[in-house]
Amino acid sequence: MRANGIKLHVVEAGPDDPDAPLIILLHGFADFWATWRLQLPLLGAAGMRAVAVDLRGYGDSDKPPRGYDGWTGAGDVAGLIRSLGYSDATVVGHADGGLAAWATAILHPRVVRSLVLISAPHPIALRRAVLTDPAQARALMPSLLSYQPPLVPERRLVGGRGIRVERMLAQRSEPSWRADPQFRTTADLMRTAIRIPGVAHAALEYQRWAFRSRFRPDGHRFLSRMDRQIDGPALHLHGLDDPLVLTRTVDDYATWAPRMRVDHLPRTGHWAHLERPEEIGGRILDFAATTER
């Protein structure tokens, strides 16, 4: 699909019906559309048009030299919704995809009917937690800082046939899931996807912008624009065993999303939609159905 000046690769399920409600699924760091492979059939069978997208720079989407920032990510999502022939959608985002979801809801509010987030705090809440909560800073900053140098992080991500991506998946998920056959399948898919030429660099450019923009005028402008309320309904699904995003950080949302409901999931890590696919799919479906206009 063409959107915001580039081509985005999408995979969809559901009826070929322009009246079917649209759900956009956005993946996180070092991932790609297949992270939603277990939710797509469930949502499609329920009559939703479910569309999982490779974000700019990932998978089979275009990999331009720039645009790995919150502003452009929101424009990509809004453009995709319109390219699909819709005026609005339920937007679901995990981690970095959650930042794109937040930004779309605030910068392009008319195209977001409702918002579902998975381990994706509001960017101002996350920044505040990193600055004031030592535990959140210890959880997030070592990996973020390690991504900032040029070239070396890219080589690490693709080295050993992508073994670092598998280790990240294991370290950030609930231990019992690692014995599930789906863990092996997911790890193999992610290790393959990160080795597509250009993907490791694009994935890291998102992380570099997230850190470096905090010291630049464009980052200050972005956070200033993000300091607004979303009027629509929102749902945040968060694993209580998520080692990267702490519960108290997720719970800091009322300023920006007064209609948000937060569900904390026991025995679940950072990858809730992978660790508990049927439950998360059902929660997304129920929420989207109740918020359909």
What sign for the dihedral angle of Cα 188, 161, 194, 145? positive
Residue linked to tokens 């469930």:
42
16 pLDDT band, cuts 50/70/90, is confident
Tokens 């600055």, residue? 131
Q: Assess whether pLDDT exceeds 70 at residue 15.
A: yes
pLDDT for 102 beyond 70: yes
291 band by pLDDT with thresholds 50, 70 and 90: confident
Contact residues for 286 (Cβ-Cβ < 8 A; gap 6+): none
Each domain of the chain, given as residue ranges in start order, spans 2-291
pLDDT of 293 > 70? The answer is no
CB neighbours of 132 closer than 8 A, spacing ≥ 6?
Answer: none
Q: Is residue 35 within 8 Å of residue 274, measured between CB atoms?
A: yes
The CATH topology of domain 2-291 is Rossmann fold (3.40.50)
Give the pLDDT of residue 131. 96
Return the ∠ at Cα 67 (arms to 201 and 270), rounded to 5°: 60
The pLDDT tens digits of the residues spanning 27-66 come to 999 999 999 999 999 999 999 999 999 999 999 999 999 9
**Mean pLDDT across the stretch 85-104?**
98
Length of the chain: 293
Q: Is the Cβ–Cβ distance between 116 and 237 less than 8 Å?
A: yes
What tokens were used for 43?
């949502």
Instruction: Write the pLDDT tens digit of every residue in 142-196.
Output: 999 999 999 999 999 999 999 999 999 999 999 999 999 999 999 999 999 999 9
